[in-house]
Amino acid sequence: MPPSDWVPLRWLAAWSRSDVSRLRGTPFNCVIGAPELDGIHTIADLNTAPVHIVGGGKWPRVAPNPGGAGPTGQPWVDSNGYAVRIAQAIDPAKPAWLAYSVPASQALRPAQFALAVCDAAAYGGHWIVCPDDRAWDATVAAARFFEQHKSWCTYHPAARLAVVADFSGPQRALATEVVNLLTRRQVAFKIVREKDATEANLRGMLEVLRIDAHEPASRDPYTIASEAHLKLSRRNDLLRLWNAGSINSFYTLSPDDRRGLLQLINYAAHEPSRLITVGLARAWASARLWMLNAAAATSVEVRRVRDGIELDLPPFAVYAAIELQS
């Protein structure tokens, strides 16, 4: 089984060999820190595994905001999707895994474990699941959803902005944070490494944001992200979200560009989202909505607005995906 098919889970020290039965019928086929197990790939030492361990991973959540959210205040979100995307750009041959632990001493809900799965899987990565009896069913259901939609991993980012950076050296932190902030601004962008910044790879991009060795590390990433978006102009947004709040988005296209996928990850996992409206610059003909625990997708009314469309979504707790057809 190639590494790209591994769905990782951390073996708990308290488990015995018989606990392997927990994994039957689940997507988890790769266990970290376990003894040899029949039918399950085991990895003793993550450092030697042919995967890219994404550094600095954090438990996804809405961070407390002492100022509160007023007429415009966007909540601060701890997320990892942007880091998964960077890892994939740096090393496309290796799957990107997040290795952070579940925070101790918190009253965590099952939805938050599902969020941890979605936060990585929506971008084609994996969180190395830390099993927890409080949330086993929710965790398995989330992982199973993404296994059932593995074909979505072949899609590429819809983009009009290219971020060109090497994510190394003194510019690494700056470039990483700019990508994080662009994600929070719902900008549809793609990441291109400096050595891959060819005419072919930048074709179709209206703006190119280069964060290279000449960019002073002291520059404010918020200003860089804002200015990039301004330079691109809101007129060229491929995607807009209304009432997004604590939601991040990832908009991708099928290899033949005939299908689209908009994934929405709600970092306030324990409560339903507000009523979200999605605006897309492309006039997709139809849209279907997937939610994590739904047996099937439901149709979403497509409303034509000038050259694009708008979709009014129902509230959802953790994750929603909209399949678009031209």
* Residue with Cβ nearer another protein (52 or 229): 229
* Token representation of residue 41: 């790939």
Angle at 251 between CA 147 and CA 72, to 5 degrees: 120
* Residue with Cβ nearer another protein (69 or 173): 69
Burial of 26 (0-12, 13-18, 19+ CB in 10 A): middle
By the rule CB under 8 A, 304 interacts with another protein:
no
Q: Which of 163-171, 194-202, 237-245, 257-265 is the region at the interface with another protein (rule: CB under 8 A)?
A: 237-245
Among 58, 240, 259, 270, interactor with another protein by CB under 8 A: 240
- DSSP, res 150: G
Give the nearest distance from C-beta 171 to another protein in angstroms: 25
By the rule CB under 8 A, 244 interacts with another protein:
yes
Among 18, 21, 72, 218, interactor with another protein by CB under 8 A: 72
Assign 3-class secondary structure to 286-326.
EEEEEECCCCCCEEECCEEECCEEEEECCCCCCEEEEEEEC
Q: Which of 110-118, 146-154, 166-174, 242-250 is the region at the interface with another protein (rule: CB under 8 A)?
A: 242-250
CA dist 267 and 246 (Å) reads 5
Cβ(166)–Cβ(198) under 8 Å? Answer: no
CA dist 248 and 303 (Å) reads 22
- DSSP, res 59: -
Among 235, 256, 285, 296, interactor with another protein by CB under 8 A: 235
Site string for another protein, 14-53 (x = CB under 8 A): ----------------------------------------
Give the nearest distance from C-beta 236 to another protein in angstroms: 9
Please report how many Cα atoms fall inside a 13 Å half-sphere around the Cα of residue 248, on the Cβ side. 26
* Residue with Cβ nearer another protein (207 or 237): 237
Binding site for another protein (CB under 8 A): 69-72, 230, 233-235, 237, 240-244, 274-275, 277, 279, 305-306, 310, 312
